[in-house]
Amino acid sequence: MRKPLVLVGLVVIALVVAACTSADDAAPTTTQPTTTTSSTTTATTTVPATTTTPVAQARPGAADLGDSLYAGIGNGGYDVAHYDLNLVIEPDSDSIAGIVTIEATATQALSRFNLDLIGFEVERVTVDGDQAEFTRDDAELVITPNRDLASGSVFTTEIKYSGTHEPFRPEAFNGTETIGWTDGSDGTEYVISEPDASRSWFPVNDHPSDKATFTFSLTVPNDVIAIANGTNTSVVTDIGSDTWQWSMDEPMAPYLATVIVGDYEILTDDTGPVPIRNAFPAGYRVPSDVDLTNDIMDMFIELIGPYPFDEYGIAVVRGFGFALENQSLSVFGPELVFADVIVHELAHQWFGNAVTPADWGDIWLNEGFATYAEFLWTERQFGRDFIETQFRDIRNAINGNANFSPPGSPPANALFNGGVYIRGAMVLHALRLEVGDDAFFETLQTYYQRHRNGTVRTADFIAVAEEVSGGQLDDLFDAWLYEDDIPEFPSG
């Protein structure tokens, strides 16, 4: 499929060149375009007779993907298929020396394109093996290949870079939290990127709308191990260092890429529906709730659909005070390893990771769903009435509290505010009461099945809900997603 696309592109270019030549011949003194009806004709007639026609209408890719909340993240003009991260990591000096290889398809004819990268020194960039010019412009790495890239062509960019990793303060936390590549409290190094800190440790199209597969080749001193998303495909021992290879074969949003380097033990459990490999730092006393993982997995497989990846695990990091759902390998602070959080991060593997918002303004599609999953687990233990009471009590307690934004319109400087979590869960509960249990769970299943490995907007979820229930649900979603006031729950 790829080769023919390139050939078609070349054929079109040849025709345009031929057309220009004959236009020149026919009207050598005309420089004004005549009124035309097709873009092809416009292209041939607007060119002044005296200039050389560019072979393709190559132009720079956009420096921004137009996210509704964050300017500057992501880039246009191409679509990444695969990242290979080859990193030599020196924990003692906090340095990284990397070669990142990116396979992408041009979605327009490109004269130039951007990646996102903050910090480090870029030493060399090649495109399809040829050295390319590059400049740094704030958080943008601007790359000019030595020849234009045809729309539809597949091209490989290799970036050699090195330096010290620096903490990153995203606007999403109002600049108050540092994320990115971080030093744990026991010498461990780990990475937390959501929402936009991937660009603080590798050159990337840093937007959730461009998912890609990943491979990692991580060289670390041999008194530590290196863990990343996906499957461990090899460990090669050298003098003083080991190289750990990991492979994530399902598409992954860049914010879910992670690396952990430290003195870790990996504990496996193959007795459940999905192979489990948990990573614990030396000396960590594993809380007993970890043993619930297989039961929680069973619940989601039954209610939502098959687990999306080849394996799952949690990695505990000392010095981290939260939990984050990195794809197939959630990262937990040592104090957060208990049932509700285990449920929450596992639910994200379906909602957030396999089905990913195409815009940060739709973050409730992650956090509202993962929070609702906690209620589903509670319902299994304590019954439906119990969560009905919880939802009504919480609604009454937080209604009118400005710290809980309407879930469908979070502020850019408080992306992960309580509203996207608990009010996001309430959106789903209101839907369940409105359409009934059968239509509700069928909606979740259809939404997952249809959009697994892809990206979505809020409208995609509403479309599935309306299709499954056969009713018009705009009023319900508008009120629960966007109004300041939290509606009363439907009586069910």
- List the single partner that 194 binds among ligand TRP, Zn ion, none, CB under 5 to 8 Å by kind: ligand TRP
In the complex with ligand TRP, the residue whose CB is nearer, 48 or 167, is: 167
Least distance in Å: CB of 309 to Zn ion?
17
SS (H, E, C) the chain: CHHHHHHHHHHHHHHHHHHHHHHHHHCCCCCCCCCCCCHHHHHHHCCCCCCCCCCCCCEECCCCCCCCCCCCCCCCCEEEEEEEEEEEEEHHHCEEEEEEEEEEEECCCEEEEEEECCCCEEEEEEECCEECEEEEECCEEEEECCCCECCCCEEEEEEEEEEECCCECCHHHCCCCCEEEEECCCCCEEEECCCCCHHHCCCECCCCCCCEEEEEEEEEECCCEEEECCEEEEEEECCCEEEEEEEEEEEECHHHCCEEEECEEEEEECCCCCCEEEEEECCCCCCHHHHHHHHHHHHHHHHCCCCCCCCECEEECCCCCCEECCCCCEEECHHHCCHHHHHHHHHHHHECCCEEECCHHHCHHHHHHHHHHHHHHHHHHHCHHHHHHHHHHHHHHHCCCCCCCCCCCCCHHHCCCHHHHHHHHHHHHHHHHHHCHHHHHHHHHHHHHHHCCEEECHHHHHHHHHHHHCCCCHHHHHHHHHCCCCCCCCCC
Query: What phi-psi label fits residue 474: left (phi over 0), alpha (psi between -120 and 50 degrees) or beta?
Result: alpha
In the complex with ligand TRP, the residue whose CB is nearer, 145 or 418, is: 418
314 contacts ligand TRP (rule: CB under 6 A): no
In the complex with ligand TRP, the residue whose CB is nearer, 127 or 420, is: 420
- List the single partner that 323 binds among Zn ion, ligand TRP, none, CB under 5 to 8 Å by kind: ligand TRP
Segment near ligand TRP (CB under 6 A), from 1-9, 151-159, 290-298, 321-329? 321-329
189 contacts ligand TRP (rule: CB under 6 A): no
Q: Position 20: which residue type?
A: C
Q: How far apart are CA 342 and CA 202, in angstroms?
A: 28
- List the single partner that 218 binds among Zn ion, ligand TRP, none, CB under 5 to 8 Å by kind: none
- List the single partner that 196 binds among Zn ion, ligand TRP, none, CB under 5 to 8 Å by kind: none
In the complex with ligand TRP, the residue whose CB is nearer, 77 or 208, is: 208
Segment near ligand TRP (CB under 6 A), from 21-29, 342-350, 438-446, 467-475? 342-350
Site size with ligand TRP, rule: CB under 6 A: 12
Least distance in Å: CB of 176 to ligand TRP?
11
367-396 binders of ligand TRP (CB under 6 A): 367
Query: Largest alpha-carbon pair distance within the chain?
Result: 84
Residue nearest to ligand TRP (CB): 322
Burial group, residue 146, by CB count within 10 angstroms (0-12, 13-18, 19+)? exposed
The residue with tokens 């020194």 is 121
Segment near ligand TRP (CB under 6 A), from 35-43, 225-233, 298-306, 316-324? 316-324
In the complex with ligand TRP, the residue whose CB is nearer, 134 or 168, is: 168
Least distance in Å: CB of 362 to Zn ion?
14
Segment near ligand TRP (CB under 6 A), from 40-48, 258-266, 292-300, 344-352? 344-352
Q: How far apart are CA 212 and CA 252, in angstroms?
A: 5
* Residue in 155, 284, 322, 489 binding ligand TRP, rule: CB under 6 A: 322
Least distance in Å: CB of 36 to Zn ion?
52
325 contacts ligand TRP (rule: CB under 6 A): yes
146-185 binders of ligand TRP (CB under 6 A): 179
Least distance in Å: CB of 331 to ligand TRP?
8
Segment near ligand TRP (CB under 6 A), from 52-60, 183-191, 199-207, 317-325? 317-325
Please give the residue ranges that form the binding site for Zn ion (CB under 5 A): 367, 370
- List the single partner that 322 binds among Zn ion, ligand TRP, none, CB under 5 to 8 Å by kind: ligand TRP
296 contacts ligand TRP (rule: CB under 6 A): no
State the Cα angle at 131 between 73 and 253, rounded to 5°. 30
324 contacts ligand TRP (rule: CB under 6 A): yes
Q: How far apart are CA 478 and CA 409, in angstroms?
A: 11
In the complex with Zn ion, the residue whose CB is nearer, 362 or 367, is: 367
323 contacts ligand TRP (rule: CB under 6 A): yes
In the complex with ligand TRP, the residue whose CB is nearer, 142 or 179, is: 179
Least distance in Å: CB of 348 to Zn ion?
6
- List the single partner that 416 binds among ligand TRP, Zn ion, none, CB under 5 to 8 Å by kind: ligand TRP
Least distance in Å: CB of 35 to ligand TRP?
53
416 contacts ligand TRP (rule: CB under 6 A): yes
Residue nearest to Zn ion (CB): 370
Q: How far apart are CA 383 and CA 388, in angstroms?
A: 9
Least distance in Å: CB of 153 to ligand TRP?
35
Count the neighbouring beta carbons within 10 Å of the beta carbon of residue 459: 10
* Residues of this chain that bind ligand TRP (CB under 6 A): 179, 192, 194, 322-325, 344-345, 348, 367, 416
